[in-house]
């Protein structure tokens, strides 16, 4: 059982090792992100943390990696702003290494301690006081005395262990004598206890229960630590974590689809829309860029991309694209909406014209009510 | 039963073995406790440093679109005392500090104080509604939908406020909501003296 637990813990730690295929941008972002501490929450990396600032930090990591900076440079950026504690990776020569070794060390350590408990039965010494104590000891060693689970039985068992320990540890005679007296008294009480035949031991022998419990706990801890440590950055708390936005099953399937069909613009568009809906603007932009690289004349993707720029605050950057789209598709309500919105944010006078045209073409669109109200407020 | 007794008084050698076993047990226990202690120590380190690493250094850039659609650049305000307040409408302590900020502004703006906000991962409508509700702050706030600007300024959590001096140096940082005492101690000394 110990061996199984050790193997499980070992496998878990081994799986934390690096993968065997070239890393994608997302994987590189994750790898670097796992070494940077989330500013808001103690102990979590920005990769694992659901907090707002962690999300912002991840986007910075992604942008910098895309610009070609090395992981070390990216980490330095965070250290420059948050201090040396921003970085999570442990010093391999330092105490952090022990954080790795402890789960593996604790199992054999704990197992050894448990086994020693078992071996305490070694008989040494002699009773030279209480004859009942002597009788109890002899019977116990012979296997003829097995205290049951009654209170008297438990007390007797305790006294036996104490007496055996006193002998084994070579303590002074006075302590042994006290242990003798206690054992004798416990034995007498045991002999007097009301024996009910129903109380025939259904219970497991006590020592077996103790050992099984200890081993089970250690195996469970080892397995849990292995699982917890595997998916965390080193130095993180292996406690529960809220799922990040990328854990949505739809996103996983769509990402898989783009991996299977990397030259299918539809796959990238679908992924981009999913990111878009989830508020992951940078990822959405990247997906739309991929789609546009495959199909440069896809005006619908240009519009989606421009809408993201507007939402992200880069309205100035989006406006030229939107204006061109507006020229090419003067009657498309979606184009007019985003264009009009952008013009409105920038305070351009033609925003009114654009938005009114939108309302003419799509009076029942969900956004129409909002647009009407905004125009009315002027 | 006496036949089963396994011997007489424990010889001295056995007594020695017994105490050696105790020593090993103690060592094992100490080792485990020591390892656990070290693990705890390595996990507990990494609390936000008491002093921001930005202090006494040049202020990071701050540029972008503001909530009311304009553009902002912090370098335009070089030569003035500026409070940079990192906030969001979904941040509860920000609600508490907003009225204080507004009243401080009214009092200190004539003495040269400027304030700019960094609005983190917020919807512009909700941010504007927040400003309406909590004192109608007249200063601009740069939109930070990704939170990148907040990270650029080394923000740990919302709200945080940075004090930038005339020459563009970050001279103070408040973590958590502002109080009047902090403004008195840090901001007021930098400003022109009160009018006659």
A279: domain CATH number?
1.25.40.10
User: What string of DSSP letters covers A197-264?
Assistant: GGGS--SPPHHHHHHHHHHHHHHHHHHHHHHHHHTS-TT---S--PPPGGG-HHHHHHHHHHHH-TT-
Is B181 a member of any domain?
Answer: yes
Look at A71-80, A154-163, A229-238, B19-28 and tell me which has the smallest mean pLDDT: A229-238
- Mean pLDDT (whole number) for A347-363: 88
**Phi (first) and psi of residue B148, to 5 degrees:** -65, -40
Tell whether the model's pLDDT for residue A89 goes beyond 70: no
d(CA A46, CA A55): 7
| B82 and B39, same domain (yes or no) | no
In this structure, are strands B141-144 and B113-120 parallel, antiparallel, or unpaired?
parallel
Task: Identify the pLDDT of residue B17.
Answer: 61
Contacts of A90 in chain B (CB under 8 A): 42
Contacts of B122 in chain A (CB under 8 A): none
Task: Identify the pLDDT of residue A124.
Answer: 46
> pLDDT tens across A232-284, in order?
555 444 454 444 444 455 778 888 888 888 888 888 888 888 888 777 888 88
Task: Identify the pLDDT of residue B87.
Answer: 95
A26: domain CATH number?
1.10.8.640
3-state SS, residue A87: strand
- Residue A149 pLDDT grade (very low, low, confident, very high; cuts 50, 70, 90): confident
Rg of chain B (C-alpha set): 30
| A98 and A56, same domain (yes or no) | yes
DSSP-assigned letter for residue B58: B
3-state SS, residue A100: helix
| B34 and B68, same domain (yes or no) | no
| B127 and B67, same domain (yes or no) | yes
| A263 and A373, same domain (yes or no) | yes
- Mean pLDDT (whole number) for A334-343: 88
d(CA A138, CA B131): 85
Overall domain count for chain B: 2
**A97 in Cβ contact with B35 (< 8 Å):** no
In this structure, are strands B71-73 and B63-65 parallel, antiparallel, or unpaired?
antiparallel
**How far is it between the farthest Cα atoms of chain A?**
110
Task: Identify the pLDDT of residue B195.
Answer: 65
Facing A53 at nearest CB: one of B8, B71, B151: B151
Is B75 a member of any domain?
Answer: yes
Highest mean pLDDT among A88-102, A142-156, B165-179: B165-179
| A274 and A196, same domain (yes or no) | no
- At residue A161's C-alpha, the angle toward residues A160 and A166, to 5°, is 100
DSSP-assigned letter for residue A349: T
Contacts of B28 in chain A (CB under 8 A): 109, 112-113
| B108 and B162, same domain (yes or no) | yes
> Which is more confident, A133 or B173?
B173
Contacts of B86 in chain A (CB under 8 A): none
pTM over 0.90: no
Task: Identify the pLDDT of residue A2.
Answer: 75
Q: Would you tell me how many other CB atoms lie within 10 Å of the CB of residue A29?
A: 25
| A19 and A106, same domain (yes or no) | yes
User: What string of DSSP letters covers A25-75?
Assistant: HHHHHHHHHTTBB-SSSTT-BTTT--SHHHHHHHHHHHHHHHTT--HHHHH
Contact B153 A81 (CB under 8 A): yes
| A110 and A234, same domain (yes or no) | yes
Q: Nearest chain B residue to A346 by CA: give it.
A: B69
| B39 and B111, same domain (yes or no) | no
Task: Identify the pLDDT of residue A115.
Answer: 80
In this structure, are strands B170-175 and B160-164 parallel, antiparallel, or unpaired?
antiparallel
Contacts of A137 in chain B (CB under 8 A): 5
Tell whether the model's pLDDT for residue A181 goes beyond 70: yes
| A98 and A225, same domain (yes or no) | yes
- Residue A209 pLDDT grade (very low, low, confident, very high; cuts 50, 70, 90): low
| B133 and B174, same domain (yes or no) | yes
Contact A57 B147 (CB under 8 A): yes
Is B128 a member of any domain?
Answer: yes
Is B25 a member of any domain?
Answer: yes
Facing A102 at nearest CB: one of B4, B22, B39: B39
d(CA B54, CA A265): 44
Overall domain count for chain A: 3
Facing B22 at nearest CB: one of A59, A169, A313: A169
Using DSSP, how many helices (H) and how many strands (E) does chain B show?
5, 7
Facing A141 at nearest CB: one of B6, B45, B54: B6
| B174 and B85, same domain (yes or no) | yes
Best of A40, A59, A107, A169 to substitute, by most chain B Cβ atoms within 10 angstroms, is A169
Contact A53 B22 (CB under 8 A): no
- Mean pLDDT for all residues in chain A: 78
3-state SS, residue B60: coil
| B125 Cβ contact list (under 8 Å, min separation 6) | none
Best of A29, A41, A53 to substitute, by most chain B Cβ atoms within 10 angstroms, is A53
3-state SS, residue B118: strand
DSSP-assigned letter for residue A303: H
d(CA A75, CA A280): 22
pLDDT over 90, % of chain A: 7
Tell whether the model's pLDDT for residue A64 goes beyond 70: yes
Q: Would you tell me how many other CB atoms lie within 10 Å of the CB of residue A22?
A: 7
**B124 in Cβ contact with A30 (< 8 Å):** no
CB-neighbour burial class of residue A62 (10 A; exposed 0-12, middle 13-18, buried 19+):
buried
| A157 and A262, same domain (yes or no) | no
| B72 and B166, same domain (yes or no) | yes
Task: Identify the pLDDT of residue B163.
Answer: 96
Which residues, numbered 78 to 137 in chain B, qualify as contacts with chain A under a Cβ-Cβ cut-off of 8 Å? 88, 120-121
Contacts of B41 in chain A (CB under 8 A): 95
| A108 and A233, same domain (yes or no) | yes
Write out chain B's pLDDT in tens, 196 residues.
Answer: 443 344 444 444 445 566 778 888 888 888 888 777 776 665 555 455 557 888 989 999 999 999 989 999 999 999 999 999 999 999 999 998 999 999 999 999 999 999 999 999 999 999 999 999 998 899 999 999 999 999 999 998 899 999 999 999 999 999 988 999 999 999 999 998 876 5
Alpha-carbon distance A12 to nearest alpha carbon in chain B (angstroms): 19
ipTM here:
0.73
d(CA A43, CA A32): 16
| A233 and A267, same domain (yes or no) | no
Closest-CA residue to A339 (of A291, A376, A302): A302
| B100 and B149, same domain (yes or no) | yes
| A364 and A252, same domain (yes or no) | yes
Contacts of A347 in chain B (CB under 8 A): 69-70
| B40 and B90, same domain (yes or no) | no
Domain that holds residue B144: 63-190
Is B52 a member of any domain?
Answer: no
**B161 in Cβ contact with B94 (< 8 Å):** no
Tell whether the model's pLDDT for residue A92 goes beyond 50: no
Task: Identify the pLDDT of residue A241.
Answer: 47
Is B57 a member of any domain?
Answer: no
Is B4 a member of any domain?
Answer: no
d(CA B47, CA A86): 9
B124: domain CATH number?
3.40.30.10
Task: Identify the pLDDT of residue B190.
Answer: 92
3-state SS, residue B169: strand
| B72 and B133, same domain (yes or no) | yes
Contact B49 A85 (CB under 8 A): yes
| A275 and A315, same domain (yes or no) | yes
Best of B23, B24, B46 to substitute, by most chain A Cβ atoms within 10 angstroms, is B46
| B114 and B34, same domain (yes or no) | no
CB-neighbour burial class of residue A181 (10 A; exposed 0-12, middle 13-18, buried 19+):
middle
Domain that holds residue A284: 246-377
Closest-CA residue to A305 (of A281, A271, A280): A281
Task: Identify the pLDDT of residue B159.
Answer: 92
Is B38 a member of any domain?
Answer: yes
> Which is more confident, B82 or A8?
B82
| A225 and A322, same domain (yes or no) | no
């Amino acid at each position: 059982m110990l061996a199984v637990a050790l193997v499980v813990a070992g496998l878990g730690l081994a799986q934390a090792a690096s993968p065997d295929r070239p890393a994608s941008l997302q994987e590189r972002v994750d790898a670097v992100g796992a070494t940077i501490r989330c500013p808001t929450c103690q102990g979590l990396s920005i990769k694992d943390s659901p907090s707002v600032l962690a999300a912002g930090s991840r986007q910075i990591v992604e942008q910098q990696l895309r610009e070609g900076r090395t992981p070390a440079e990216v980490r330095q950026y965070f250290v420059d702003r948050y201090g040396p504690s921003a970085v999570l990776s442990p010093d391999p020569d330092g105490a952090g290494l022990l954080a790795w070794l402890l789960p593996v060390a604790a199992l054999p350590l704990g197992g050894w301690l448990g086994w020693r408990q078992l071996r305490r039965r070694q008989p040494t010494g002699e009773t030279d006081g209480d004859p009942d104590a002597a009788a109890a000891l002899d019977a116990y060693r012979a296997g003829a005395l097995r205290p049951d689970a009654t209170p008297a039985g438990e007390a007797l068992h305790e006294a036996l262990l104490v007496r055996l320990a006193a002998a084994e540890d070579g303590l002074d005679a006075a302590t042994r004598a006290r242990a003798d007296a206690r054992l004798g008294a416990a034995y007498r009480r045991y002999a007097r206890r009301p024996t009910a035949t129903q109380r025939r031991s259904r219970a497991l022998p006590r020592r077996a229960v103790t050992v099984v419990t200890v081993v089970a706990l250690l195996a469970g801890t080892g397995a849990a630590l292995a699982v917890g440590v595997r998916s965390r950055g080193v130095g993180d708390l292996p406690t529960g974590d809220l799922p990040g936005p990328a854990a949505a099953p739809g996103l996983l399937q769509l990402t898989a689809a783009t991996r299977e069909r990397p030259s299918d613009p539809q796959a990238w568009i679908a992924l981009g829309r999913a990111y878009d809906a989830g508020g992951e603007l940078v990822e959405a932009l990247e997906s739309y860029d991929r789609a546009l690289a495959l199909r440069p004349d896809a005006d619908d993707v240009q519009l989606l991309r421009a809408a993201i720029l507007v939402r992200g605050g880069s309205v100035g950057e989006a406006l030229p694209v939107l204006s061109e789209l507006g020229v090419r598709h003067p009657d498309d309500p979606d184009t007019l909406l985003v264009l009009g919105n952008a013009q409105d944010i920038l305070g351009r006078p033609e925003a009114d014209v654009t938005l009114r045209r939108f309302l003419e073409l799509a009076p029942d669109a969900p956004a129409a009510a909002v647009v009407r109200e905004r125009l009315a407020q002027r | 039963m006496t036949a089963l007794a396994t011997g007489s008084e424990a010889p001295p050698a056995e007594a020695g073995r017994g105490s050696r076993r105790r020593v090993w047990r103690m060592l094992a226990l100490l080792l485990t406790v020591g390892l656990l202690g070290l693990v705890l120590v390595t996990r507990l380190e990494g609390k936000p440093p008491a002093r921001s690493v930005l202090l006494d250094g040049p202020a990071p850039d701050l540029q972008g679109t503001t909530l009311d659609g304009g553009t902002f650049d912090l370098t335009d305000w070089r030569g003035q005392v500026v409070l940079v307040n990192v906030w969001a409408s979904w941040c509860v302590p920000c609600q508490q500090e907003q009225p204080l900020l507004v009243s401080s502004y009214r009092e200190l703006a004539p003495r040269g104080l400027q304030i700019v906000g960094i609005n983190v991962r917020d919807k512009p409508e909700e941010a504007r509604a927040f400003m309406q509700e909590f004192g109608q702050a007249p200063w601009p706030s740069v939109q930070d939908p990704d939170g990148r600007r907040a990270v650029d300024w080394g923000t740990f959590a919302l709200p945080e406020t940075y004090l930038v001096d005339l020459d563009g140096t970050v001279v103070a940082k408040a973590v958590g909501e502002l109080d009047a005492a902090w403004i008195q101690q840090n901001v007021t000394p930098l400003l022109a003296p009160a009018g006659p």
